[in-house]
Structure 1
């Protein structure tokens, strides 16, 4: 989003001096934000930028410098990826003679929309954190949905077809996860990682994703689900359930859903699901990983009250 020149007051070095940061630490923060190769003597910062960065840099007593750098890195990586995608879209729209707006106009509108969406997501996330702040560790279901045979598929089809395929896959998966109360953590090229607090919602979503795959709406998938305590950090999720869910997705046959025992136990009394044991899996890091397959119970009568 374009900022009027009269509002730009500080070069990077002037900003560092105003903040009272050492050049060494400022360079680490600058690099963590993703600007290692784009240092500039131009005035690129406003007074509002200075006030915001002052708050960020004044938190050393409560946020160690290592955490400040990690936070800057997380912001930089996520924002850089988003900006790259947005720039591609804006250039594409700018080349279309039917589009009446300039790149600056579209960029300004996009910046406003981005702020709006970010505020809503932040409010939801803060409310969610308050609801679970008494938990020492977060009990979540972690899921992975991967496209089967992605490497060979990417070699066989044109790049525009591959782009459409990935966009359809991500769009449908995001929509299904969000509609059922889950959260997409990240995309991994040929896969999507998501989390749920509710195991039943996670199972229902995995089945919906699989149904879309069977219907040909999205490519053939395999899904892995695991339940357990995880660490959430800088927008990502870590812990054994993450590793197990990834191993299960990698071991599942095309068009199937695998889940670990804690996840299966969560569905034991729910007649909407059909759970079947399989022989233990020998996967990286787990010599005898116990898993079950998950399907919808086709004999379940939804009109019958649950026990």
Structure 2
């Protein structure tokens, strides 16, 4: 097999050393004690910083850290010393970085492995070795894209906060209520286990990626935001009830069309279905939530999930409160359904949400 740049690395260990030098700013020259003295903080804070990032740390006297590691610890100390943040807040921010960057790095590297395996017809081990060989060259481009995306996301959050400033200080707020009024919804794939049974790793990966990409496209186009995807489900939020309704209906429509695989064999039918879109059940609520750790919490989230569980495929269910918030909007039709007993929530009257021609 010929590769566009030479051959696979003969010595993966030496390749790793080269990658570390390129990514981490030189050799490992500092111990944890060195970092603590340099930043003017305690050894326990240095070790806590590293643990919070989700990374291993060596013996406190061993030269385990690089110059860029030392700079990262200096910046964390500066958040407390120069910017007045509480140490617990710095730990929370650091934990968010560790959790997100760990998942991001793994996600991107696995995508590169799939690309190498497909383009050059490699087995998995060879594809991983080729990614290892290319990683130092690819990293600066991926890093630049990460920084740009992060700044864009911060700017978007600032914009949303700015739009909400008018709500601050208005009378009528319920004491102790959750802070954010949001539309929140779940779209849950129908028969995920059956549809993916028997798929190999490549087909399963493709199936999940198609679902996630399609869901994110619909949510973003309708004015919402994806909070997280959970394999066969997506949790979304929007800043007003109408936007949330558009997201919910968009998901039910765009992901609601079955492929005709009736004439296929059992295995072929599953694989064919995996290559297409798949129907979802959607639950959507307008209520108040708590936003923490990159997730949202509260009774509204639980209710949206339970409504998704009982919705028919390609249909959207909401509750009476949300229906009242949408009642004056001619774009939506709302139909009350018989009361249902929902686990942990008691009796709820579901309302089916659909689009009109308005």
TM-score range, shorter chain: 0.7 to 0.9
Q: How does 1:170-181 map to 2 (within 5 A)?
A: 170-181=212-223
The offset of 1:218, in angstroms, is 2.0
Counterpart residue number, 1:201: 243
Answer yes or no: is 1:270 the counterpart of 2:293: no
Cα deviation 1:6-62 (Å, max 9, x = unaligned): 597644442233223333343333222111477883332426434422223437954
Report if the CA contact (8 A) 2:46-2:73 is conserved: no
Out of 265-274 and 24-33, give the one that drifted further: 24-33
Cα deviation 1:196-223 (Å, max 9, x = unaligned): 1121121122112111123345211001
What is the distance in 1 between the residues matched to 2:44 and 2:343?
Answer: 41
Quick check: which has more Rg, 1 or 2? 2
The size of the alignment, in residue pairs, is 298
Structure 2 counterpart of 1:166, from 208, 223, 236: 208
Answer yes or no: is 1:157 the counterpart of 2:157: no
Out of 15-24 and 51-60, give the one that drifted further: 51-60
Cα distance change on mapping 1:214 and 1:127 into 2, 3 Å: closer
SS at match of 1:184: strand
Instruction: Name whichever structure is richer in helix by fraction.
Output: 2
Counterpart residue number, 2:262: none
Out of 190-199 and 23-32, give the one that drifted further: 23-32
Cα distance change on mapping 1:151 and 1:97 into 2, 3 Å: closer
TM-score (norm 2): 0.74
Report if the CA contact (8 A) 1:15-1:45 is conserved: no
What is the distance in 1 between the residues matched to 2:108 and 2:32?
Answer: 25
Report if the CA contact (8 A) 2:41-2:77 is conserved: no
Report if the CA contact (8 A) 2:320-2:351 is conserved: yes
What is the distance in 2 between the residues matched to 1:273 and 1:27?
Answer: 55
Counterpart residue number, 1:222: 281
Structure 1 counterpart of 2:184, from 123, 138, 142: 142
Unmatched runs of 5 consecutive residues or more in structure 1? 303-307
Counterpart residue number, 2:134: 102
What is the distance in 2 between the residues matched to 1:130 and 1:192?
Answer: 27
Two-structure CA RMSD over aligned residues (Å): 2.8
Answer yes or no: is 1:114 the counterpart of 2:173: no
Report if the CA contact (8 A) 1:12-1:45 is conserved: no
The offset of 1:126, in angstroms, is 1.8
What is the distance in 1 between the residues matched to 2:57 and 2:348?
Answer: 45
Counterpart residue number, 1:27: 47
Counterpart residue number, 1:55: 78
Report if the CA contact (8 A) 1:258-1:294 is conserved: yes
Counterpart residue number, 1:71: 93
What is the distance in 2 between the residues matched to 1:72 and 1:66?
Answer: 10
TM-score (norm 1): 0.85
SS at match of 2:183: strand
Report if the CA contact (8 A) 1:90-1:103 is conserved: no
Report if the CA contact (8 A) 1:148-1:222 is conserved: yes
Out of 181-190 and 20-29, give the one that drifted further: 20-29
Structure 2 counterpart of 1:44, from 43, 59, 66: 66
The offset of 1:294, in angstroms, is 1.1
What is the distance in 1 between the residues matched to 2:300 and 2:189?
Answer: 20
Report if the CA contact (8 A) 2:281-2:313 is conserved: yes
Cα deviation 1:69-114 (Å, max 9, x = unaligned): 3332222111111111112123344554599993211121111111
Cα distance change on mapping 1:177 and 1:111 into 2, 3 Å: same
Unmatched runs of 5 consecutive residues or more in structure 2? 1-18, 122-129, 174-178, 259-275
Cα distance change on mapping 1:132 and 1:14 into 2, 3 Å: farther
